[in-house]
Structure 1
Amino acid sequence: MTSTNKDLPTTEQSPWAGVWRDVLGGGVVRSILAILLALLIGSLLVVVVNEDVQKAAGYFFARPSDTFTEAFNVIAGAFRAMWEGAIFSPRTGFQPLTQTLMWATPLISAGLGIAIGFRAGLFNIGGRGQMILAALFTGFIAASVPLPPVIHLIVAVLAGLIGGAIWAGIVGYLKAKTGAHEVIVTIMLNYVAFWGITFLLKTPLFQAEGAGGNPKAKPVLDSAELPKLIGNLDLGFVLSILAVIAYWWIMDRSTTGFRIRAVGFNPHAARTAGIDVERTTVITLALSGAFLGLAGATQVLGRATAGYTPDVDAGIGFDAITVALLGANHPVGIVLAGLLFGALKAGSFPMQVAENIPIDIVAVIQGLIVLFIAAPPLIRAIFHLPAPSGVSLLDRVRVSRGKADATEVAAAAGIDAAVEADSTATAVEADSADTTTNDINSEAKA
């Protein structure tokens, strides 16, 4: 079945043809609409269960305006409470913003860990276990190994990175050597880590004094605590931003990142181009675990200095999947997604106190965002958005400056109608592998 599209750039057309189609159908617009739609559905749920709205609805046909007024008051109150709890409060100024940054700190670094797995086509769902093992390593160094102040903090953080990398590296090794699926293995290792640390935190080596039969770690020594910056915000936020820079450099500027992207794009073509796919798989998951390990380390050294428990991950390992998906695996997108969920978390507590709205609504909104982000055709169908052409903005700029041929860019986006019409399924698959191999070799030479 042949298909052509006049909106796509060809040798006869401007490289900017169809750019608005790509903007409207692109990931940024879809993400914004997914967030707005999730907030809308969450608001409707809040309205439906509100007692004042239910009372007004009892005489809806007599005075319908009362129902709409109560519904508006509930929604407005919820968003006002969330704003004052996450961004700005008339009483305390921008102090709530530090709460948002505090909640966002582990989400950003954990989101980077999940994203680096996604870039290689790997679904690391073991963030919880990797954060827990990182907490074990960090907690032991921070509580039981006295060192000079600055050195102590650095060693404790590095211990967390190593702990997370080891736990995720096990998954990479099993996948590379035995073909074990990373989703199944990471889920099982989550349980191993949780119950393993529950046992260890009841032993004298790790357990805090006076904890009795409760699994609680020893308190962190003062020399290993993350210094406070403003309010409850500590140095962990700076570390998470440094992690963002490291992620960008690894993925966009290093040979390792190139191999990771190549394997994620097409592992068969990457192997043909001479890339060791198995080794890259192990390295990818180890790096993923290291970023998640940083999230675990900042939890122990920042928020759980009095002694962490087996629940030290606080669900961040799973929330990070949402952050990575919403951020489209891009470092800037992950930061923005982490800040969004940090704001939702920080604002949920004042919302519950001031408006009597359960904080569980935040988890519902997060789940809805994942649903909409994971199903782009659903968002396009709801809002009647066009499907993007697949030609990136960077490619359009290259064509406009004469640094790339428009036909090559169009073919790279998968819009070569002649190939689609005349090739059999087998021929198309072989051509795709060859094209990918050539792309990989070309990028390597560049």
Structure 2
Amino acid sequence: MRQDVPRSHRLLREIAGGDAVVSVLAIGLALVAGGILIVLTDPEVQAAAGYLLARPGDTVLAAGDAIAGACSALFQGAFFNGTRAGWANQIKPLTETLTLATPLIAAGLGVSVAFRAGMFNIGGRGQMLVAAAVAGWISWSFPMPYLLHMLVCVLGAIVGGALWGGIAGVLKARTGAHEVIVTIMLNYVAFYLVSFLLRTPGALQAPGSNNPKSPAALDTAVMPTLSDLLGIGSFRLHAGFVLVVMATILIWWVLNRSSMGFRFRAVGENPRAARVAGIDVQRVYLVALMMSGGLAGLAGASQVLGTTTMGFGSGVDAGIGFDAITVALLGRSRPWGVFAAGLLFGALKTGGYAIQATQAVPIDLVLVVQSVIVLLIAAPPLVRAVFRLPAPAAALPHRRTETVAG
């Protein structure tokens, strides 16, 4: 006897077994782990725990107050603070979140492009540093009209990052060198090269300075901020966020609607089968790593032209190149998933500073939450086991055959 499986049941199982649900639950588990750490390290909870058996309610209330205070500080620090005077000050936390998320999204898109082609680009830091050096050098060395100057600097940064990523692409395509090893080594090469140039008069070092710091970017090269457009407030959110949104749309189209994206996916799934099908695998490796480096270059440009416009040092990447790997993993290498993951990590960083200032919770707690997210994202079976979710391959077929006695 043939029995139809209700379509609603199939849909629910497909949703429950999907990557999006696993990502959301991984974030939830990480936040729960962070809440537990807040409770364990809170002085008032520790004091109430000293007489837990006599008055257990005090410990419970103290734990609740600690978690509620941390959640409130996180929201006010990352999104909206209604206690401030004036709407410009109230929405400033949101603009700070978007500012911190901008380079994370750009670099995360770069990592995701390499992922889709079956490669692991760990060279985001080096690509950002080279791009920042190129953008910075153009920004103070070649005066140009406003806006044109900024666009040329951004283009130079993208080209610089693409060429630096292309080094790994050439070695991967021509010699079969593993991109993980090559990009890691190129990180060190870029760091020490930029550090040397920042200590060399006439190169990247500011004239008359003994510190390893570059000159300030000319005003014509600086990305306009939200305050420049509105004429109020002291917002740091700059035009780099608009460029990142445009890059997200472009990468989505390339990966999902273009023949190039199809070749990326084919090589990422099975390079041997792609080669048999007539795809130039070596060319795909080169193009993918150049695109990846170019997007990391956009992240570097947003730092130099939007955030650290008064001069930068060798730490201008601020660890974004490595955080981008986490963002790409959480976003499942999908452009809009990476965009959402970048916003989440920007909110965690911005809110983390507020938690530290108001609740005396170490900022390292944010790193713990991020690390737990990576751990759970890297082990989807663990999340599925905790919540008893079906595996993707366990979805019900459209029909099944049952034998009925009689």
| Residue 127 (structure 2) aligned to one of 126, 130, 133 | 130
**Do the aligned partners of 1:42 and 1:364 also contact (CA within 8 Å) in 2?**
yes
| Residue 68 (structure 1) aligned to one of 49, 60, 63 | 60
**Residue 3 (structure 1) aligns with:** none
**Do the aligned partners of 2:252 and 2:336 also contact (CA within 8 Å) in 1?**
no
**Residue 101 (structure 1) aligns with:** 98
| Residue 182 (structure 2) aligned to one of 181, 185, 190 | 185
Residue 70 and residue 172 in structure 1: after superposition, are their counterparts in 2 closer, same or farther (change >3 A)? same
Structure 2, unmatched stretches of 5+, are: 228-234, 400-406
**Residue 389 (structure 1) aligns with:** 393
| Residue 361 (structure 1) aligned to one of 351, 360, 365 | 365
**Equivalent pairs, count:** 386
**Residue 211 (structure 1) aligns with:** 209
Residue 58 and residue 11 in structure 1: after superposition, are their counterparts in 2 closer, same or farther (change >3 A)? closer
Alignment of 1:24-63 (within 5 A): 24-63=16-55
Q: Distance in 2 between matches of 1:256 and 1:273?
A: 14
* 1:377 and 2:381 aligned: yes
Q: Distance in 2 between matches of 1:134 and 1:385?
A: 43
**Do the aligned partners of 2:191 and 2:314 also contact (CA within 8 Å) in 1?**
yes
Secondary structure of 1:101's counterpart equals helix
TM-superposition CA deviations, 1:217-255 (whole Å, max 9, x none): 111000000001242111010000010011012112222
Deviation at 1:13, TM superposition (A): 6.3
Structure 1, unmatched stretches of 5+, are: 1-9, 397-405, 408-446
The amino acid of 1:173's aligned partner reads: V
Q: Distance in 1 between matches of 2:62 and 2:208?
A: 51
Residue 148 and residue 390 in structure 1: after superposition, are their counterparts in 2 closer, same or farther (change >3 A)? farther
Residue 256 and residue 358 in structure 1: after superposition, are their counterparts in 2 closer, same or farther (change >3 A)? same
| Residue 256 (structure 1) aligned to one of 260, 263, 274 | 260
Secondary structure of 2:393's counterpart equals coil
| Residue 300 (structure 1) aligned to one of 292, 298, 304 | 304
TM-superposition CA deviations, 1:391-431 (whole Å, max 9, x none): 89xxx9xxxxxxxxx89xxxxxxxxxxxxxxxxxxxxxxxx
**Residue 319 (structure 1) aligns with:** 323
Deviation at 1:376, TM superposition (A): 0.5
**Residue 435 (structure 1) aligns with:** none
**Residue 293 (structure 2) aligns with:** 289
**Do the aligned partners of 1:104 and 1:338 also contact (CA within 8 Å) in 2?**
yes
Deviation at 1:174, TM superposition (A): 0.6
* 1:339 and 2:343 aligned: yes
**Do the aligned partners of 1:22 and 1:389 also contact (CA within 8 Å) in 2?**
no
The amino acid of 2:49's aligned partner reads: A
**Residue 232 (structure 1) aligns with:** 236
| Residue 269 (structure 1) aligned to one of 270, 273, 288 | 273
Q: Distance in 2 between matches of 1:295 and 1:391?
A: 40
* 1:147 and 2:149 aligned: no
Q: Distance in 1 between matches of 2:263 and 2:21?
A: 30
Deviation at 1:178, TM superposition (A): 1.2
**Do the aligned partners of 1:21 and 1:389 also contact (CA within 8 Å) in 2?**
no
Deviation at 1:15, TM superposition (A): 6.7
Residue 323 and residue 11 in structure 1: after superposition, are their counterparts in 2 closer, same or farther (change >3 A)? farther
Deviation at 1:318, TM superposition (A): 0.8
The amino acid of 2:185's aligned partner reads: M
Deviation at 1:93, TM superposition (A): 2.3
**Residue 199 (structure 1) aligns with:** 196
Deviation at 1:369, TM superposition (A): 0.4
Q: Distance in 1 between matches of 2:58 and 2:206?
A: 56
Deviation at 1:323, TM superposition (A): 0.9
